[in-house]
Structure formats: C-alpha cells, structure tokens
Chain A
Amino acid sequence: MPHVKVNKFNLYFGNDHILKDIDVSIPDKQITVIIGPSGCGKTTLLKSFNRLIDLQDNVKTDGRILIDGEDVFSRNADLCSIRKKMGLLLQKPYPLPMSIYDNVAYGPRIHGLKKGGDLDGLVEHYLKEASLWDEVKGRLHAPAGNLSLGQQQRLCLARGLAVEPEIILADEPTSALDPLSTARIEKTFIKLKKSYTIIAVTHILRQAKRIADYVIFMYYGRVIEHGPASKVLENPEKDVTKEYVNGVIS
C-alpha cells in the first residue's frame, strides 16, 4: 500500500477551479516526477500534499489526499505532524537567517528531539545525507546565506531531512542552479530514494528522463497520464502527452 494516494481531489482558488479530479497513487521509495506546462497546477498539487497551500487565501478543496492512510485535508488533521512527514525543497533555496549548523538543527530543536552532543551528530549525519558535509564541515557556524545557491539548496535538503520525513517534496529544485549543482542534487536524489519517497516537479524533460521512475503528466489542472517513466516518456498513450514529450507544446 503506497503511503501517498490522491483520491478525487479538487482545489479552487476563489472561483477558479485549479486542480480537477486528481486521482493518482505515488509509488513508495521511488522518484516520481510531475511534468506539465506552466500554470497547469504542479506547484499547487505539490503544496497540497503537506497543506502548505493553506498559506494562500481563499483555498477550497474536496476529495482526499491520503498519507499513510490518513486524509491530510480531514477536519481534525494535525498539520504540524503531517508536514513533519514531508521535507520540502522550493524553487529558490531559502536558508533561514542563522548559521549552517542552526539551519539543520532547527527542525530537531522545535520538535524537541535532541539536545547538546547528540545534535552535533545529527547535523553531521544529515549534511552528509545531503552531500554537503565535506564542503561546510570547517565553517558550520558561518551564516548560511554565504553559501552558493547550489550549496544552499543542499542545505535546505539537509534541513528537511533532519525532521525525519518519509517523503521529500521538491518544486523545480534545480531551476535556479548551474548544471554542476543540478547534477549533484540529482545524484543525491537517486541516493536518497532508497530511504525516501521523492516527488519532484520539473520543467525539464531531460531531467525527468534522468531521474524519474514514475511520471505524472498534468495539463490544465488534470492528470492526463501517469505510469512508469519509460512508458509515459517514451511511449505515451494520450495525444497531448505525446505532443508534450515531443516538445510540440510546452
């Protein structure tokens, strides 16, 4: 039983019907990539998983998104514990205004996980998981804002991993990065899928081909096609998908 399931999910901003009858299961411990033209609702769907979409005004939803069998949109859902299950990478990395160390330690600290000596170990562990440790081990207490963009994105990854999520959500995590940093993030994702379910949005078809195990193609708020990467990207069923993967529409 996959731990992320979307069930007849609809989302409205005021009167605009943005997400329409989304019905899809996300396979565990794989990289699922959401593709589709600009404005089709990829970010909105991604932010629905951890209900970050609640930060927007006038949002209405119906249908369900099940994480471990629990509907995140149910009335008595505990937002903090839902969000804690998912790490999030934004398009533009945003280090918190504190040191590298404190960025990674932030999650464990607010959740009261560990203190003192253990925290050092945790910080090191997650910086290693995010493939950043070697570059920052000598300056853990320097402000995080001084890192390069690529390093900042991996720091955000480490920060997200430090709250021990099961799922990693990523919204075009490499679109602000240079090719080398992009490659490092992609390599890290492939390493991390052994332990995490990864859902990433991308604009770049070549990136989808490089990392995706499973692909969801969205168009005007609907999921048009979803399935194993090889099938959707190489041999799609629907015409719109064909046009998109062949670059006719973008």
Chain B
Amino acid sequence: MKGRIIEEKIFTLLMAFSSLAIFASLILLIGSVIFKGAPALDLAMVTEAPSGGFYLGKKGGVLNAILGSFFLAGGAVFISLVLSIPIVMYINHYSSKGSLLNTATRFSIDVLSGVPSIIFGVFGFSIMIILGIKASLLGGMITVAMLVLPVMCRAVDEVARLVPEELPESVHALGATRYDVIKVSLRQILPGILTAIMISFGRAIGDAASVLFTAGFTDEMPLSLLQPAATLPLSIFFQINSPVAEVQNRAYASALILTAVILSISLSVRIIASKMKKKVVK
C-alpha cells in the first residue's frame, strides 16, 4: 500500500515537472530570441530592404523578406483554401462514408501532412523545371500551397465532421439541393475555417525548406510573381551564416520578427476558437 502511494507521488511530480518544462522552454525560446534580437532591431529593419547585400551588408532591413513571406504565405493559403473546401465538402457530403475514394482521400491527407517540407521543395522544384519556371514568388506559392493543403484539409475536415446529421437532414427536408446543404454547413463551420486559415498561414510563413529552391532569394522587394522573392526563414538562414557579427545579429532580429508574427497568429487562433465555442449551434 505504502509503495503505491509513493509511486503515485513520484509520477505526479514527474508529470508536473514535464508540464513545467514545456512552458519553460517556450519562455526560454522567446526570451533568448528577444535577448539576442532586440538590440539589432531598429525601425530600418522593418521599413527598408537590405543594402550592401544580405550576406555582408549591415545596412537597411528585411522588409523585402517580411513582404515576401506575407505574400507567399497569403497566396499559398488562398490556393490551398480554394482546393480544400471542395475536397472536404465532397468527402463529407457527397461520397458515401465507406467508399474507396473517401478512404483514399483521407489517407492521402494523413500521409501528406507527415511528409517533410524539403520533399515538397524538391517536388516543387522538379515540376518547375518541367514547366520551365525559374525560382520565383509564384513557384514558392505553389510549392507552399502543396505543403499546407493537407494541413488545411485536416483542420477543415475536423470541424466539418462535427456537423451533426441533423443539419443535412433539416436542410434536405425543406426540399433543398446538396449545394444548399453545403452552403449552410460552410456557414456553420465558418469559425473553424478561419482557424484553419490561421494555422495554415502560420505553417506557411515559417517554412524554409520548401522555399529554398522554389522562391529563391533576393535583396529586391517582391514586386512580381515571376521574380525570386525573399522570405523571413531564409533571410535568417543566410544572415546567420555571414562572417560579419553585425549581420549575424540581424539574423536574430529577423528571428524575433518571425516569432512575433507566429505568436500573434497562435493568439488569434485561440481567440477565434474560444469565440467559436459560443457560436456553434448545439
């Protein structure tokens, strides 16, 4: 008896310690990014493009990478949203639950969401070679869209599956078409779709490996879909490899900017999710 009580106490302590450890690593991570990045962060970092080259230049900022990342992630999320809504609506409202297509689709979504992003990068790159497109904002967008498509599908599917049977029954009973049913379902899961968009955006903006060969890198502002575009993760990667200490510090400042973006996205997701709980019809 006594042994079991001690055992329980030890495990409770261990569990409490691990929970604390994850929180501590978050604080440590953010803390070190701020500690290293804040000194190098000035107004120019977020309002100017680099001058003197991103590798050796100590002047200017990373506005080109900030804009590039936002454009790229925005475009990728848009493409994957446009694709994922029909996919999810099809498997939830058209194909029957046990059908081959339905199973195959859900299986593909699961597998694709586990594929490392560098593989998507290589895949996107080889497609671009076949199509004769060089590294560009558009190439990056398409590749990152493939990367986040399974993430988006999963997140939308998760809420679409929660829509109770009574919704299609009620709408069909009024003599509606399946298309009407889909419109009402989309309305019901709108908060979930917003959450899915935010999650996908966070995934898209933080990924370096998929854009390495497909979007390229440049000091120029991203003004054309067909020109290479800088992104925040790659600007961190290139700056930290510089032999110049000031440039290395600029890498930490860029990391701070990226962390702030991701953090505000996670916070918005939380806010949307809690609002959603109140809105969903039981």
Contacts and interface: CB of A to CB of B under 8 A. Distances in A.
A55 B175 contact: no
Interface in B197-222: none
A116 interface: no
A52 B176 contact: no
B281 A95 contact: yes
Interface in A75-107: 79-84, 86-88, 90, 92, 94-98, 106-107
Contacts of A1: none
B280 to A, nearest CB: 8
B169 A52 contact: yes
Contacts, number: 74
B238 to A, nearest CB: 48
Interface stretch (A126-134, A155-163, A203-211, A237-245): A155-163
A145 interface: yes
Given A80-B176, A110-B176, A145-B281, A96 B98 contact: no
B97 interface: yes
A111 interface: yes
A160 B96 CA distance: 27
Interface in B170-205: 170-177, 180, 184, 187-188
A140 to B, nearest CB: 17
Interface stretch (B5-13, B133-141, B160-168, B226-234): B160-168
A50 interface: yes
A86 B175 CA distance: 9
Given A57-B96, A90-B166, A98-B187, 13 more contacts: A80-B176, A81-B175, A83-B172, A83-B175, A87-B173, A90-B169, A94-B166, A94-B169, A96-B184, A96-B187, A110-B177, A144-B281, A160-B174
Interface of A: 50, 52, 55, 57, 79-84, 86-88, 90, 92, 94-98, 106-107, 110-111, 143-145, 156, 159-160, 163
Q: Which 10 A-B pairs have the closest CB atoms?
A: A84-B175, A94-B166, A88-B173, A145-B281, A83-B175, A97-B188, A80-B175, A107-B174, A57-B96, A94-B170
